[in-house]
Copies of this chain bind each other. A is one copy, B any other.
Amino acid sequence: MACVAKEIEWRIKVEEDDTLKRRVVGCMWAATAGVALKLWKFVKKAWELGVNDPRKFIHCLKVGVALSLVSLFYYWKPLYDGVGGNAMWAVMTVVVVFEYTAGATICKTVNRMCGTSLAAFLGIGVHWVASRAGEQYEPIIIGISLFLLASAATFSRFIPTIKARFDYGAMIFILTFCLVSISGYRVDELLNMAQYRMFTIIIGSILCIIVSVIIRPIWAGFELFVIVTGNLDKMANSLQCCVAQYFDGSEASDEESDKVSEKELLGYKCVLSSKATEEAMANLARWEPGHGRFNFRHPWRQYIKIGASMRSCASCLDALIGCINSDNKASDEMKKNMRIISMKVGANSASVIRELATTMRNMTKSSKLDILVTEMNSAAQELRSLLSSYPNLVNAKRSAQTETAPSDIPQAAKVEIPLMQIIQVVTVASLLIEIVARVEGIVETVEELSDLANFQPEMCVKSKQHSPDSKISPDQQIDEETDRTLQMV
């Protein structure tokens, strides 16, 4: 009896063990599969990121090439004999200095070279003075000078002008000064060491600049140009799309086109959020040599101003879209009355903005721009006059109604205009007029740019007209690039 019971117990135990084992294995499989799935999704997303903008892949390969080249200092004996362990500084320079845009690479390179040389001279000077002062005072002199110079250089990084251009240089200055002045206390061949390091840093820097500028360069200036002109187009589309949607009210459209128009409608949001990218790019662009049709002293700062005027216009557009989506709906009749002229204002403003983008793309003074601006202003004026004539309009309509059914309308209704039904339309109209004023602000800044950059008057440049477009990678990638950069900042 006891034996049978034991056997059963044992069987149950074995079965329990089996179930437990199976469960554990199952859990482990599930966990592994979960991790693998997540990893797969991550890799897929990353791959898409690269496929959408192949320049990212190219950049990675460029970094690989630069590092392989600089590592020759170790592999190739004659080179290694020349610089020895100091080759490390060339490798370090390449890793630290190589950036996505050529402007950033050049900026960091120049900063690194200037910061290193300045600090090396100062460090050697301080070391010389300290070594003359006797063994007892040497660490004190070096320590105090280190403290003071490091603090001062750190403070300089807070000053806007230095921060914008020489932030990295100030850091490298502190680094080099520390290494030279402190290690001078222990290393005997200080001058020799400094010389070799300087030499290898210069080699690394030059290598970076060459690889960055020669192999499929990515110019910060061109990126800025693409962002600003692309944003102009997006804003034009948003503006036209929003006015058209409001006054046409095409609700019978299918889902697909809804999505497209939704994307178009919200394009202006890119304008609102691209301040940081624009400023960063403009700061880097001025380090770049002339490229494409941009010369060395191209007025990149003006693009920031254009961006600011665009943002001012976009925030008005944001308010407009907010009002359109608000609960106060206007009567369809009112909309119908305002429809043609409002859509004209929207379309004319959009074509002015598009013409500005074309002007910037072609780098020519547009002959059409003045006409378009005049048309836009006259449309705005028409809208204004329509608004001033509005009571008459209602009056006329009412008198028409009166003709058809004179007895139905009581006397009170004659004066009681349903203002609630006008409000939205009036607000939209008045915001449109404000947007027209702000579009003129964009026109001004672009005209300043055309003066600063000496845009030529439009001539027979039809053949060249779309040359910059051909260089532009698909719009989408620029969007994503912008969004990504913004997410990061």
List the interface of chain A (C-beta within 8 A of B).
42, 45-46, 49-50, 56-57, 59-61, 63-65, 67-68, 71, 74-75, 80, 85, 88, 91-92, 95-96, 139, 142-143, 146-148, 150-152, 154-156, 158-160, 163-164, 167, 171, 174-175, 178-179, 182-183, 185-187, 272-273, 275-276, 279-280, 311-312, 314-316, 318-320, 322-323, 326, 328, 384, 387-388, 390-392, 394-395, 398, 414-420, 422-424, 426-427, 429-431, 433-434, 437-438, 484, 486-489
Say how many copies of this protein the assembly contains. Answer: 2
Neighbour of A489 across the interface among B186, B280, B328, B438, CB < 8 A: B280
> Closest CB of chain B to A67's CB: distance in Å?
5
Contacts A146-B68, A151-B64, A163-B488 known; A272 to B423 CB distance under 8 Å?
Answer: no
Q: Which chain B residues border A64 with CB–CB below 8 Å?
A: 146-148, 150-151, 154
> Closest CB of chain B to A156's CB: distance in Å?
8
Closest A-B pairs by Cβ, 3 of them: A315-B315, A319-B319, A276-B276
Inter-chain contact B414/A390, CB cutoff 8 Å: no
Residue of B nearest to A159 (CB): B46
Inter-chain contact B392/A416, CB cutoff 8 Å: yes
A175 to B143, CA, bound (A): 29
A67 to B384, CA, bound (A): 67
Contacts A75-B139, A155-B50, A391-B419 known; A68 to B147 CB distance under 8 Å?
Answer: yes
Neighbour of A326 across the interface among B96, B415, B437, CB < 8 A: B437
Given A74-B185, A163-B487; 19 other pairs, CB 8 A cutoff: A50-B155, A61-B151, A64-B151, A91-B178, A92-B175, A95-B171, A95-B174, A96-B171, A160-B484, A276-B489, A319-B431, A323-B434, A384-B420, A387-B419, A388-B419, A391-B418, A392-B415, A395-B415, A419-B426
A387 to B420, CA, bound (A): 6
> Closest CB of chain B to A107's CB: distance in Å?
13
Q: Which chain B residues border A486 with CB–CB below 8 Å?
A: 275-276, 279
Inter-chain contact A322/B437, CB cutoff 8 Å: yes
Q: Which chain B residues border A280 with CB–CB below 8 Å?
A: 489
A106 to B418, CA, bound (A): 62
Contacts A178-B91, A437-B322 known; A63 to B171 CB distance under 8 Å?
Answer: no
Give the residue among A42, A63, A320, A484 with the most B Cβ atoms within 10 A: A63
Inter-chain contact B430/A416, CB cutoff 8 Å: no
Q: Which chain B residues border A92 with CB–CB below 8 Å?
A: 175, 179
A174 to B71, CA, bound (A): 13
Inter-chain contact B487/A160, CB cutoff 8 Å: yes
A46 to B487, CA, bound (A): 31
Inter-chain contact A316/B326, CB cutoff 8 Å: no
Neighbour of A315 across the interface among B319, B388, B488, CB < 8 A: B319
Inter-chain contact A178/B59, CB cutoff 8 Å: no
A420 to B390, CA, bound (A): 9
Contacts A318-B315, A328-B433, A437-B322 known; A185 to B419 CB distance under 8 Å?
Answer: no
Give the residue among A61, A160, A187 with the most B Cβ atoms within 10 A: A160
Contacts A49-B158, A71-B178 known; A423 to B434 CB distance under 8 Å?
Answer: no
Inter-chain contact A154/B60, CB cutoff 8 Å: yes
Inter-chain contact B484/A85, CB cutoff 8 Å: no
Inter-chain contact B175/A71, CB cutoff 8 Å: no
Contacts A60-B155, A391-B419, A418-B391 known; A487 to B315 CB distance under 8 Å?
Answer: no
Q: Which chain B residues border A74 with CB–CB below 8 Å?
A: 182-183, 185-186
Neighbour of A88 across the interface among B183, B314, B384, CB < 8 A: B183
Give the residue among A179, A423, A433 with the most B Cβ atoms within 10 A: A423
Inter-chain contact A315/B272, CB cutoff 8 Å: yes
Inter-chain contact A152/B60, CB cutoff 8 Å: yes
Inter-chain contact B484/A158, CB cutoff 8 Å: yes
Inter-chain contact B272/A273, CB cutoff 8 Å: no
Q: Which chain B residues border A60 with CB–CB below 8 Å?
A: 151-152, 154-155
Residue of B nearest to A399 (CB): B415
Inter-chain contact B423/A147, CB cutoff 8 Å: no
Q: Which chain B residues border A183 with CB–CB below 8 Å?
A: 74, 85, 88
